[in-house]
Amino acid sequence: MPSTCKGDGGGCGPDTDDRTPEKIQERIKGATSEFIDAYALVFGSKPDQAIWNQIPDRLL
């Protein structure tokens, strides 16, 4: 049983190692190409640069 399980019926939370800034940044970068592909499939073109300008530089 993961150490994040409380045993009080609240279920198990995510592993705290997954919530570090490095892991979050890694997931954002990893999802970028999937997002671009999905956006292009739905809208027929690549997303506008303005979308990326909304992501703080510290996350990229």
Of 25 and 43, more confident: 43
Model pLDDT for residues 32-54, shown as the tens digit of each residue: 888 889 999 999 998 888 877 77
Neighbours of 30 (CB within 10 A): 9
2 phi-psi bin (left φ>0, alpha ψ -120 to 50, beta other)? beta
How confident is the model at residue 14, as a pLDDT? 61
Read off the pLDDT band of 5 (50, 70, 90). low
